[in-house]
Amino acid sequence: MTTADPSGTFVQKPKTIAALKEGIASGSVKAADLTASYYERIAAVNPQLNVYLSLTKERAVEQAARIDALAAKGDPLPALAGIPVGIKDVLVVKGAPATAGSKILKGYEPPYDATSVTKLEAAGAVLLGKINCDEFAMGSSNENSAYGPVRNPVDPERVPGGSSGGSAAAVAADMAVATLGTDTGGSIRQPASFCGVVGVLPTYGRVSRYGLIAFASSLDRVGPFAANVRDAATLLGVLAGHDTKDATSSPAPVEDYAAESDKGAEGLRIGVPAEYFSDGLDPEVRAAIEKGIEDLKAAGCTVKSISLPHTKYAIPTYYLVATAEASANLARFDGVRYGYRSAASENLAAMYKHSRDEGFGPEVKRRILLGTYALSAGYYDAYYLKAQQVRRLLAEEFLRAFTEVDAIVTPTSPVPPFKLGEKTGDPLAMYLADIYTVTASLAGICGVTVPCGSTSSGLPVGMQVLASHLRESTAFRVARAVEAAQK
């Protein structure tokens, strides 16, 4: 493997899961060699991109040996046999440091695996390591990590998006064939768009969150990144399903998403909401998405304009709901049971305060304060309750739209990837980066970001394909059609 592609960036497309699995089954590829080659690739480019925070080599080597032994016996191989994957560091892996991008979890090595991690490994995947992200998944650029920003493989002067920026960058730079990310307000879809890869927001409850370090529990979701739509669908098929350890996980049957995605998009009804193509949209992003919509017509979809008039209220609603829930979830970091405890702890109250003050970064503190304020006596009705009422209006608006169309397509981000430092001074400007993604988060519906053209300077543009609750197969079919039309 080379360290950079001919255009001078770090971009390199991983082989497909199907091709790698066939190689492993036939014996032409050894899982052990594949694993070793991925660790070489990581060693070569991680110093520049800052994607991996820790590696799980021992576990990876053992799993690869297990897969090679299976293949040598000629036994049937599981869905992800030998596939090297990376895990966003808000999901726990037994014995591996879990940081959530924060100093407050320093030294924490959880004694258990997240369900999503267990499922990947049971399906034969090889866990390479833990991947950098914004602190507690709060951010849209990866610049909020206590361990330094991840850089975008397409242009290292630019951000990879956030908060799962490392997970998107890993796939874009072939530092993993696939990765896990999490999405609370856009944290899978926006970095997928910025790095030119596929990212999946499953329906709320579709993938277990057991072992996820919680940010906002009514919004948090776990989902995969991959280099192509079919691989992403294969991964979701492994990850989805009910889990007795997550009371919010859905008992609805899991579809064969990969096979469903092969059915083509012909005859599907696509809605294009005017509100997502307003003044703030970069003209080059608009042109790329409009071209993608033409491609969908050519693939046999019917396209109609729709209106989602409450869209403009989504960001204020999201930042009230998410920060309120975060202020409650992050109360557990108190220096008692795990992670960091301040040395300046003359009594219990001081220990809580100093540990939290020294352990949390500025954005996390800002959100805890905003959330605590919105929930505090005298303000609860005006802020938190109001936001939950508007949340219902937003969700019902989507459900109405989905009686007329099968999927909705929009730009994932109003702008192409921006430069490091460009928005760090203005929290509100950073929040607006999520303007097209928070709506689906609040409504609980599913979506996929699929690469859809680029700007004149070669920066990736992503299309967001949204579908109703549990209609992941529909989103994949549309995304496959957009992908097929790319050069």
> For residues 19-78, which are near another protein according to CB under 8 A?
none
CA distances from 257 to 27, 183, 406 (A): 27, 20, 16
| Dihedral sign from CA coordinates of 62, 66, 71, 73 | positive
Select which of 145, 163, 249, 468 is catalytic.
163
Please report how close the Cβ of residue 372 comes to another protein at its closest, in angstroms. Answer: 4
Q: Which residues pair with 447 in a beta bridge?
A: 201, 466
Q: Which residue has the tokens 């001081």?
A: 350
d(CA 207, CA 237) in angstroms, rounded, equals 10
Please report how close the Cβ of residue 389 comes to another protein at its closest, in angstroms. Answer: 4
What x-and-dash track marks residues 456-485 binding another protein by CB under 8 A?
------------xxx---------------
Give residues 221-280 in contact with another protein (rule: CB under 8 A): 242, 244, 247-252
**The one among 120, 288, 443, 475 contacting another protein by CB under 8 A:** 443
Give residues 291-330 in contact with another protein (rule: CB under 8 A): 310, 312-313, 315-317, 319-320, 327
Active site residue 163: yes
**Does 338 participate in binding another protein (rule CB under 8 A)?**
yes
126-131 sheet: strands from edge to edge:
52-55, 126-131, 84-88, 178-183, 221-226, 198-201, 446-454, 460-467, 407-411, 269-273, 302-306
Tell me whether strands 84-88 and 178-183 are parallel, antiparallel or unpaired. Answer: parallel
**Does 215 participate in binding another protein (rule CB under 8 A)?**
no
Tell me whether strands 269-273 and 198-201 are parallel, antiparallel or unpaired. Answer: unpaired
Residue type (1 letter), 215: F
d(CA 143, CA 422) in angstroms, rounded, equals 10
Active site residue 116: no
Using a 10 angstrom Cβ sphere, with 0-12 exposed, 13-18 middle and 19 or more buried, the burial of residue 284 is middle
Interface stretch with another protein, choices 122-130, 144-152, 288-296, 424-432 (CB under 8 A): 424-432
Interface stretch with another protein, choices 110-118, 207-215, 226-234, 412-420 (CB under 8 A): 110-118
Please report how close the Cβ of residue 226 comes to another protein at its closest, in angstroms. Answer: 23
Select which of 88, 119, 130, 423 is catalytic.
88
Contacts of 385 (CB under 8 A, 6+ apart): none
Please report how close the Cβ of residue 458 comes to another protein at its closest, in angstroms. Answer: 33
Please report how close the Cβ of residue 73 comes to another protein at its closest, in angstroms. Answer: 34
**The one among 129, 205, 271, 417 contacting another protein by CB under 8 A:** 205
How many of the chain's residues bind another protein (CB under 8 A)?
A: 81
Please report how close the Cβ of residue 437 comes to another protein at its closest, in angstroms. Answer: 16
Q: Active-site positions? A: 88, 163, 187
